[in-house]
């Protein structure tokens, strides 16, 4: 079955204050009945003054009744006559001194109790329930509410069968404790029966420091809340973190030693004779060789020399590229001069054998000239 909770009682102590502020051990029942009679009296005597709620606070010898109303003029009356009449009537219900306070409701459209009273009054005047509901919702939304819901139950329109009708606009987060929801229930007494009217008005989130403090907008998220990661330490001097505190912590134990304790080991060293163990040649050479502290310096010098050599080579490349052309031209001219200065030597041809000559003689047309040519050439 449904487990419905009163929206106001659900939020008491979180965002809503108590409406009755007093404590009693033995007389609790009598004081509770007294509070109920006071509330009934105020509701009956100020039925036309749009009273939303009544707060009662008790002291040792006095009772303070605070009335929240949208029409303080009607409550006060001419010259405060109504206030005095109400104070005397409340004083008859209790034996203590009565103090009456009146607080005005600045926006009655955002109060659930006053909204339900308005709809119930329209139903008693025989206005259609759907029209009354829609008009009330529109006025409430225009007043600045984030959500409204109105529900009516009973013999709606004088029908034989009772039913429930409701209308809603916006959102009504009933399960959110920080949601400021105003709730009200009023009974409309009609000729054909009683009609119940319920109204919910969502006025925004309330995140005040104490219950009942007015705050309707969500607060900005806080920094440094538990569960968030801590920011890294601020960097200084080229991005390096400041390790000064750690160094100080490490140095504290050494500085805390007393000078007498430091002098004691020195005296023991003087008292004990020094014994030099026999060392091997390898150990002596290792001991003689100092630690190579200049290794990084030498490496840097080598890299600088390499870079200088590369730059010199790059500078010499254009000069080398221009030299080969000139040398090639000079070589070509020298070779031509040598060729012209040397005389051409006649080619020496070997004499053919006699058998070859005889074989060639019948084929040649001029035998005599062909025989003479070898001799002349030779």
pLDDT (tens digit per residue) in 232-261: 555 545 444 444 444 444 444 444 445 555
Best CATH choice for the domain 108-214 from the list 3.30.1140.32, 2.60.120.10, 3.30.460.10, 1.10.15.40:
3.30.1140.32
Question: Residue 119 in contact with residue 197, Cβ under 8 Å?
Answer: yes
Q: Strand, coil or helix: what is 232?
A: coil
| Arithmetic mean of pLDDT, 261-271 | 53
Work out the angle between the directed axes of helices 112-124 and 129-142 (0-180°, nearest 10). 150
DSSP E strand boundaries for the chain: 20-21, 51-58, 62-69, 97-104, 147-154, 163-170, 179-190, 193-205
Cα–Cα dist 112/183, whole Å: 5
Question: Any idea which residue has 């013999």 for tokens?
Answer: 155
Question: Residue 180 in contact with residue 171, Cβ under 8 Å?
Answer: no
Cα–Cα dist 7/57, whole Å: 22
Question: Any idea which residue has 């329209």 for tokens?
Answer: 122
Read off the tokens for 349. Answer: 């041809």
> Which pLDDT does position 233 carry in this prediction?
53
CB atoms within 10 A of CB 143: 14
Q: Strand, coil or helix: what is 287?
A: helix
Burial class (CB in 10 A: 0-12, 13-18, 19+), 352: exposed
pLDDT above 50 for 64: yes
Q: Strand, coil or helix: what is 340?
A: helix
Question: Residue 211 in contact with residue 17, Cβ under 8 Å?
Answer: yes
pLDDT above 80 for 299: no
Looking at every residue in the chain, the average pLDDT score rounds to 76
By C-alpha distance, which of 4, 56, 5 is closest to 31?
Answer: 56
pLDDT above 60 for 2: yes
Q: Which fold has domain 1-106?
A: GMP Synthetase; Chain A, domain 3 (3.30.300)
By C-alpha distance, which of 117, 22, 5 is closest to 68?
Answer: 117
CA 46 to mean position of chain CA atoms: 52
| CATH 3.30.300.20 residue spans of the chain | 1-106
Integer Rg of the chain from CA: 59
Read off the tokens for 267. Answer: 């005296």
pLDDT band at 318 (very low <50, low <70, confident <90, very high): low
Please state, for a pLDDT cut of 90, what percent of the chain lies above it.
53
CA dihedral in degrees (261, 266, 271, 274; nearest 10)? 140
| CATH 3.30.1140.32 residue spans of the chain | 108-214
Cα–Cα dist 268/260, whole Å: 13
- Residues 148-194: tens digit of each pLDDT: 999 999 999 999 999 999 999 999 999 999 999 999 999 999 999 99
Question: Residue 120 in contact with residue 195, Cβ under 8 Å?
Answer: yes
Read off the tokens for 167. Answer: 């209308």
Q: How far is CA 139 from CA 21, 31, 147, 198, 312, in A?
A: 34, 40, 12, 16, 91
pLDDT band at 325 (very low <50, low <70, confident <90, very high): low
pLDDT band at 311 (very low <50, low <70, confident <90, very high): confident
Q: What is the largest CA-CA distance in the chain?
A: 182
């Amino acid at each position: 079955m449904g487990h419905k909770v009163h929206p106001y009682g659900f939020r008491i102590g979180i965002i809503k204050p108590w409406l009755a502020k007093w404590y009693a051990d033995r007389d609790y029942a009598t004081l509770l009945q007294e509070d109920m009679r006071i509330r009934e009296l105020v509701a009956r005597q100020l039925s036309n003054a749009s009273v939303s709620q009544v707060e009662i606070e008790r002291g040792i010898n006095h009772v303070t009744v605070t009335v929240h109303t949208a029409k303080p003029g009607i409550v006060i009356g001419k010259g405060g006559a109504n206030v005095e009449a109400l104070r005397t009537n409340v004083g008859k219900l209790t034996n203590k001194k009565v103090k009456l306070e009146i607080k005005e409701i600045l926006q009655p459209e955002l109060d659930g109790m006053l909204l339900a009273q308005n709809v119930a009054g329209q139903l008693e005047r025989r206005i259609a329930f759907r029209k009354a509901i829609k008009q009330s919702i529109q006025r409430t939304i225009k007043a600045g509410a984030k959500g409204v819901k109105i529900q009516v139950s009973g013999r709606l329109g004088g029908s034989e069968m009772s039913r429930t009708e409701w209308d809603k606009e916006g959102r009504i987060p009933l399960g959110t404790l920080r949601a400021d929801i105003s709730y009200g229930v009023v009974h409309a007494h009609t000729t054909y029966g009683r009609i119940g009217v319920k109204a919910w008005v969502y006025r925004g989130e309330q995140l005040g420091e104490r219950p009942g403090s007015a705050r309707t907008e969500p607060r900005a998220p806080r920094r440094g809340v538990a569960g968030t990661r801590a920011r890294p330490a601020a960097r200084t001097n080229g991005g390096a973190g400041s390790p000064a505190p750690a160094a100080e912590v490490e140095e504290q134990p050494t500085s805390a030693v007393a000078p007498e304790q430091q002098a004691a080991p020195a005296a023991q060293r003087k008292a004990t004779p020094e014994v030099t163990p026999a060392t091997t040649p390898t150990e002596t050479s290792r001991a003689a060789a100092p630690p190579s502290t200049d290794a990084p310096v030498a490496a840097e010098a080598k890299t600088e020399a390499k870079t200088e050599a590369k730059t010199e080579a790059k500078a010499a490349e254009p000069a080398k590229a221009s030299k080969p052309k000139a040398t090639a031209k000079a070589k070509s001219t020298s070779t031509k001069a040598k060729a012209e200065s040397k005389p051409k030597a006649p080619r020496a041809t070997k004499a053919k054998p006699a058998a070859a000559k005889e074989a060639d003689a019948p084929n040649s047309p001029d035998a005599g000239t062909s025989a003479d040519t070898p001799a002349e050439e030779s």
